[in-house]
Amino acid sequence: GMFISAIHNMGLVTLTHTPSPMGFLGEILGRGEHEKAMLLMPVGYPADGAEVPNLQRKALDEISDFIE
């Protein structure tokens, strides 16, 4: 979270992405078999006029049932 926040505070944008399978990345970068990527974080400048949607999470009681 802190790394992503720091990127955003610099005026850049990013997201975490975990493609499956990830083996292609090791081949592209010429890494050994013992080195495995866990995730990708593309970083760049947002497009002009780009906006972050105002998404709201559902309340916990809307998505769960509690049984006592």
pLDDT in tens, 12-49: 999 898 888 878 888 888 988 888 888 889 999 999 99
By CB atoms closer than 10 A (0-12, 13-18, 19+), residue 14 is middle
DSSP-derived 3-state class of residue 37:
coil
Inform me whether the pLDDT recorded for 64 exceeds 90.
yes
Say if 68 falls within a structural domain: no
Does the residue 58 lie in any domain? Answer: no
Confidence (pLDDT) at 1: 81
Kindly tell me if the per-residue pLDDT of 11 is higher than 80: yes
7 within some domain = yes
56 in a domain, yes or no?
Answer: no
61 domain-assigned = no
Q: Which domain holds residue 23?
A: 2-47
pLDDT of 68 > 90? The answer is: no
Cα→Cα distances 51→16, 48, 54, Å: 18, 9, 9
**Domain count within the chain:** 1
In a domain, 19, yes or no: yes
Q: Which residues contact 46 (CB under 8 A, 6 or more apart)?
A: 12, 13
